[in-house]
């Protein structure tokens, strides 16, 4: 039952937003009473915390599976982008913005965990890209990894990039191109063009 509540809450939070969804709506969508939800979660904040952890774990597992395939670094980065978009959807509800505004402690905790995982993943991708001659040998890997994470946070800022003007999918595509064109060798740029043609 807990898993069912999590799945349904996750779907509603992504589609409508963390603040906008009520416990009544989650109960109704799950086909259970609100009282049943409160058997597992004492309040909405606790449910939001578990849903964000659930989403984070699901995405991390997916990223690990992609990395284990040992594809070339540019293909890998696009596969990870597709995984994230399929999990987070391309919604107009700006769930991250609502999480930051209404559940700042949960947002901060999630951000720290995301930075740890993403930094490790990006550093590995950069080092592999340098080794395989897709990325330039003169790049500062640690610096690029931090800039990459910082940029990822920025494109999710709805004040900077209003969702009425940019879909999240478009923003991710533009950002990946921006990132890769700054670090790629000729070989890397060729592979980037191949990836863009496949879209």
pTM for this entry: 0.88
Residue 114 lies in a domain: yes
Residue 48 lies in a domain: no
Residue 11 lies in a domain: no
Q: Rounded mean pLDDT of 153-173? A: 88
Number of alpha helices (DSSP H) and beta strands (DSSP E) in the chain: 10, 0
For 88-145, how does the pLDDT look when each residue is reduced to its tens digit (9 = 90+)?
765 555 677 889 899 999 999 998 998 888 899 999 999 999 999 999 999 999 999 9
Residue 78 lies in a domain: yes
Residue 169 lies in a domain: yes
Looking at residue 93, its pLDDT comes to 57
Q: Is 70 helix (H, G, I), strand (E, B) or coil?
A: coil
> 157: which 2 tokens?
């800022």
What is the number of structural domains in the chain?
1
- Residue 96 is part of which domain span? 56-198
Looking at residue 123, its pLDDT comes to 97
Q: Rounded mean pLDDT of the chain?
A: 92
Looking at residue 89, its pLDDT comes to 66
Sign of the four-CA dihedral 76, 77, 82, 88: positive
Map 103-167 to HEC letters.
Answer: CHHHHHHHHHHHHHHHHHHHHHHHHHHHHCCCECCCCCHHHHHHHHHHHHHHHCCCCCCCCCCCC
Sign of the four-CA dihedral 163, 169, 173, 175: positive
CB atoms near residue 197 (< 10 Å): 7
Residue 31 lies in a domain: no
* Whether the Cβ atoms of residue 118 and residue 64 lie closer than 8 Å to each other: no
Residue 70 sits in a domain whose CATH number is 1.10.357.10
């Amino acid at each position: 039952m807990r898993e069912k509540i999590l799945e349904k809450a996750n779907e509603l939070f992504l589609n409508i937003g963390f603040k906008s969804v009520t416990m009544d709506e989650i109960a109704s969508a799950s086909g259970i009473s609100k009282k049943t939800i409160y058997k597992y979660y004492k309040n909405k904040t606790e449910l939001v915390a578990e849903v964000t952890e659930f989403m984070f774990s699901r995405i991390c597992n997916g990223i690990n599976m992609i990395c284990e395939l040992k594809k070339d670094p540019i293909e890998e980065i696009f596969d990870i982008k597709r995984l994230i978009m399929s999990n987070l959807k391309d919604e107009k509800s700006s769930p991250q913005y609502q999480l930051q505004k209404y559940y700042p402690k949960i947002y901060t905790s999630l951000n720290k965990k995301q930075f740890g995982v993403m930094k490790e993943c990006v550093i590995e991708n950069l080092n592999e890209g340098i080794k395989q001659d897709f990325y330039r040998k003169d790049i500062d890997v640690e610096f690029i990894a931090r800039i990459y994470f910082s940029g990822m946070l920025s494109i999710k800022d709805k004040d900077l990039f209003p969702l009425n003007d940019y879909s999240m999918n478009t923003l991710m595509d533009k950002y990946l191109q921006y990132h890769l064109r700054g670090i790629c060798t000729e070989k890397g740029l060729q592979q980037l063009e191949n990836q863009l043609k496949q879209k």
